[in-house]
Amino acid sequence: AQSVSQHNHHVILSEAASLELGCNYSYGGTVNLFWYVQYPGQHLQLLLKYFSGDPLVKGIKGFEAEFIKSKFSFNLRKPSVQWSDTAEYFCAVNANNAGNMLTFGGGTRLMVKP
Amino acid sequence: EPEVTQTPSHQVTQMGQEVILRCVPISNHLYFYWYRQILGQKVEFLVSFYNNEISEKSEIFDDQFSVERPDGSNFTLKIRSTKLEDSAMYFCASTSTAGDTDTQYFGPGTRLTVL
């Protein structure tokens, strides 16, 4: 069965710092990869997704993620965070032989200090 | 921008009672899902629904759970006899096609508290 790991549970950064959140998955086949964000009191929103092609994908709000197949990783990055990026970030994977279900990581709670 | 909506936002119930959680998916979407997140744990897949029938379900989705699309807009999750361990945030999601390459759009969730 596929699984997703997010190693950082809590991250605290100051504004303008660079961000990298790790995501690793365990599945040997073809996968679709997603990062979702949940701002306080709001629903899960899609930040970006990777299905195929260029392994460096750009999403909304200046976020990007790089798919490294050999490392089974899909890390999320942002060069300069803002206070408004304070949220919980979830990595999710859909394995192409697992129908449409998403398998989520445990989430990373990011706090950006002004 | 169209959104998935869910009602109620918070439901409190007594153990053993039946609850129905409601979702209105995005109007042209065809695939519907329920996920749950127990406090402090991962978001877990429960069930997917397409063409008026369940297409996949997880081990969590036992006989206590059922889903229904009673009309053209609502998608419901029923828990027949709630247990304390059913306390969680329940998220509905939908996608616009039957393929597994499309994005799931999530609702705001219903927080279920079983006393």
Q: Tell me whether B21 touches chain A (CB under 8 Å).
A: no
CA-closest candidate to residue B75, choices B51, B99, B98, B56: B51
Residue B98 has pLDDT above 70, yes or no: no
Q: What's the pLDDT at B6?
A: 96
What residues of chain A have any CB closer than 8 angstroms to a CB in chain B? 32, 34, 36, 42-46, 49, 51, 90, 92, 94, 96, 98-107
Digit-coded pLDDT (tens) for B47-89: 999 888 999 999 999 999 999 998 878 999 999 999 999 999 9
- Check B58 against A106: CB less than 8 A apart: no
Q: Tell me whether B91 touches chain A (CB under 8 Å).
A: yes
Lowest mean pLDDT among A46-55, A85-94, B53-62, B96-105: B96-105
SS3 sequence, A10-67? EEEEECCCCEEECCEEECCCCEEEEEEEECCCCCCEEEEEECCCCCEEECHHHCEEEE
